[in-house]
Amino acid sequence: MTNSQISGIHHITALASDPQRNLDFYTDVLGLRLVKRTVNFDAPDVYHLYYGDEVGNPGTLLTFFPFPDAARGKRGTGEVSSVAFAAPLAARDYWIHRLSQHGINVQGPLERFNEELIRFDDPDDLQLELVFGGFGVASTIWKEGPVPAEFAIRRFRGVTVTLAQSKNTGALLTDTMGFRLSAEDGAQVRYVIGTGASQATLDDDVSASLPPARMSAGSVHHIAWQVADDAVQRLWQQKIAEAGLSVTEIVDRQYFHSIYYREPGGVLFEIATDPPGFTNDESKENLGTHLMLPPWLELHRRQIEEALPSISVPAAATVGK
């Protein structure tokens, strides 16, 4: 794999309703770190909450736009329908017990493409999975959280997308984006991107009988794929345009740079850069402890803070238990 290729998942962004409930679940229950507390740069009266490993490495970041009064989304075609995290092989019983203790309904153990997993929903009914395997021990696991390091979530394993048809999406993935067709099981097809620890899966679940999804709380807004830097991103911007898709200009997201486009089945894709990273405006020790705003919004801090709902950041989300 050359460094001009997509290396895996950078981050996944979803919609939520109550920000405090979202924060409590992902930090106190799943044991992720609150890596960054900022706002939706396009709608600064809405939080943008980033959860991940100790330093917010690409491949670990699940982020949310919480709209307090949002209704539940409706599942259907044209969406990322499930988000899968990787966890150690020996962690299965721990997680079944932990989630059950928190009153969360757990499905499984289940098997998909020879991998063992459990399935459950977050407080807004976003479908999550934990896939158990030999994914290695990452040195950047958030060790200050409530989950022992030997059982902690490692990074993303992949996503499932639900589409009305798969031909055009499959062609984009393999012919343009560098995915490899890995396996097929009935209406479900697995594609793989990247190698080693950063390898990620995309399972295409064809369900032509379902209506289109309606995006709201509990829906994935987009999935971002990881590239090394700005120069590589510009190459991908050209490549996506040459594939006949409408792709945006490069957007500065403060912690990475982004381009966006929709794949033929309707799912919003992003290609995001590794740098600048999440320590460009906070130290590693202070990640997530303050509301951080980009320079172009800093002048409006007082109005923004007054418009945002009050939240209390759990100690386990930042520094200490």
User: So where are the chain's domains?
Assistant: 8-317
Pairing of the two strands 79-88 and 127-133: parallel
* DSSP bridge partners of 66: 16
pLDDT attached to residue 160: 98
Distance CA 200, CA 157 (A): 5
Pairing of the two strands 33-40 and 43-52: antiparallel
Distance CA 58, CA 35 (A): 12
DSSP string, 84-137: EEEEEGGGHHHHHHHHHHTT---EEEEEETTEEEEEEE-TT--EEEEEEE----
- Location of structure tokens 């993935």: 173
pLDDT attached to residue 317: 61
8-317 domain in CATH 3.20.20.70? no
pLDDT attached to residue 241: 98
Distance CA 168, CA 205 (A): 14
pLDDT attached to residue 169: 97
Contact in structure between 273 and 6 (CB atoms under 8 Å)? no
* 297 burial via Cβ count (<10 Å: 0-12, 13-18, 19+): middle
Nearest residue to 84 via CA among 200, 226, 196:
200
pLDDT attached to residue 285: 94
- Edge-first strand order for the sheet with 220-227 is 33-40, 43-52, 61-66, 8-16, 220-227, 268-273, 257-262, 251-252
End-to-end CA distance of the chain: 39
pLDDT digits (tens, 9 = 90+) for 152-205: 999 999 999 999 999 999 999 999 999 999 999 988 999 999 988 889 999 999
Distance CA 85, CA 48 (A): 20
- Residue ranges of the chain with per-residue pLDDT less than 50: 1, 320-321
Coil, strand or helix: which one is 158? strand
Distance CA 255, CA 36 (A): 10
Contact in structure between 8 and 58 (CB atoms under 8 Å)? yes
pLDDT attached to residue 27: 96
Pairing of the two strands 268-273 and 220-227: parallel
pLDDT attached to residue 1: 41
Distance CA 242, CA 108 (A): 43
Q: Encoding tokens for residue 229?
A: 């830097």
